[in-house]
Structure 1
Amino acid sequence: MFDVDRGIYVVADGLGGHGGGGEASRIAVNSLTELLRDANFGAATLQDSILKTNELILTHQKSETHLANMRTTLVVLWIRDDQALWGHIGDSRLYLFFKGKLITQTKDHSVPQALVQAGEIELNDIRHHEDR
């Protein structure tokens, strides 16, 4: 979802293997878009909005037992004037296209990414890792 006028771009990918992934992603997108819409631009505001969105999903999980395992990844880009802020959860990524090249702006929150950072596997091995 995006709000071009306010520079808000949100992508959430519900985890298909868990009941309610679609619901979790819907809550995440709607909540973040609403929280940021008229907020003061800043890193603390973005972080607080992501945390509030997480709390909203957790509250929804507790109130709907069939959604107790709902999960989603998230990436949000917030642009004002000549500044951009972003945040993410999970393995949804943000890229910058610059001078004909894609440059990754985020690192996955995953076991394989931790293994890459520890030097135990190569970056190209993430796609086929069993814990991806």
Structure 2
Amino acid sequence: MNVMPINAVAYSDKGRVREINEDNVAVLEEHGLVILADGMGGYNAGEVASQLAVESITASLLPHYTESELIPSDQMISAAVNAANEAILSMMMATPEYDGMATTAVMGLFHGDKIYYGHVGDSRLYRLRNGRLEQLTKDHSMVQALVDEGMFVSIQEALDAGVKGNILIRGLGINEVVEVDVGASEIASGDIYLFCSDGLSNMVSDQVMQKIFIESKGEIGLAAKQLLDKALDNGGLDNVTLAVVCPQL
């Protein structure tokens, strides 16, 4: 597989309120692979589910790296995420105390001149290009679904009306088969990518995140640390996990 080299900086913190960290993140720079998972609140053993998701997706994809001519596909990414879903369901069957555990997942594979990505839940992938931060994924949340259906003009309007923002409509470990949103995007020189759990996106607005990236002037280590610090300074109400990635074109 024609891997694109990446530089990356990742952080994971339990935040100011939670007793444990249910997030997990893996960055394999030599494979151009990033996977982030957030054990879903309200479920048992979220930290087990998120770790299993990261490990299972990694294990599903690594054998493909021996195939030098292989180009990543939607099917490859969807299969890897569904394998993680199956692993979580199997663990619950075998271990009753893990019954009900679930997790989100977002992953990116840098290959050739593109990023191939997939996600389930509300962990996000952003791209900074020419000073503009853009969310590439769309949350699988109740509030987002109501906006998509036209019941509200914006997520903020829905939240102001009392719709809870933390109710997810998709996750790993809930159904036997999970629908994975997948995509691919060409990479431009200077692009920076951000993978994060909602512990960051709920605590720091897109506008503030964009400002931090601009002021860091391409220093991804500085940007990553400032993003984490800002989420904690704003309350750190959830676990905060992020990976900032700079592809090496």
TM-score, with length taken from structure 1: 0.92
Distance 2:87 2:50 in 1: 12
Q: Percent identity?
A: 33
* TM-superposition CA deviations, 1:48-85 (whole Å, max 9, x none): 11111110111001111111110101100011121211
Aligned to 2:171: none
2:52 pairs with 1:27:
yes
Aligned to 1:124: 156
Counterpart amino acid of residue 59 in structure 1: S
C-alpha contact 1:8 1:37 (8 A) present in aligned 2: no
Distance 1:94 1:51 in 2: 19
C-alpha contact 2:50 2:103 (8 A) present in aligned 1: yes
Residue in structure 2 matching 1:38, options 53, 58, 63? 63
Counterpart amino acid of residue 124 in structure 1: Q
Aligned to 1:11: 36
**Offset at residue 37 of structure 1 (A):** 1.7
Q: Helix, strand or coil for the counterpart of 1:85?
A: strand
Q: Which consecutive aligned stretches of 4+ in structure 1 deviate over 6 angstroms post-superposition?
A: none
Aligned residues: 132
Distance 2:63 2:157 in 1: 41
Aligned to 1:97: 128
Residue in structure 2 matching 1:52, options 73, 83, 89? 83
Structure of greater relative contact order (alpha carbons < 8 Å, 6+ residues apart): 2
C-alpha contact 1:35 1:49 (8 A) present in aligned 2: yes
Counterpart amino acid of residue 3 in structure 1: L
* TM-superposition CA deviations, 1:2-46 (whole Å, max 9, x none): 111111100000013211100000000011112112314222111
Unaligned runs of 5+ in 2: 1-25, 65-69, 167-249
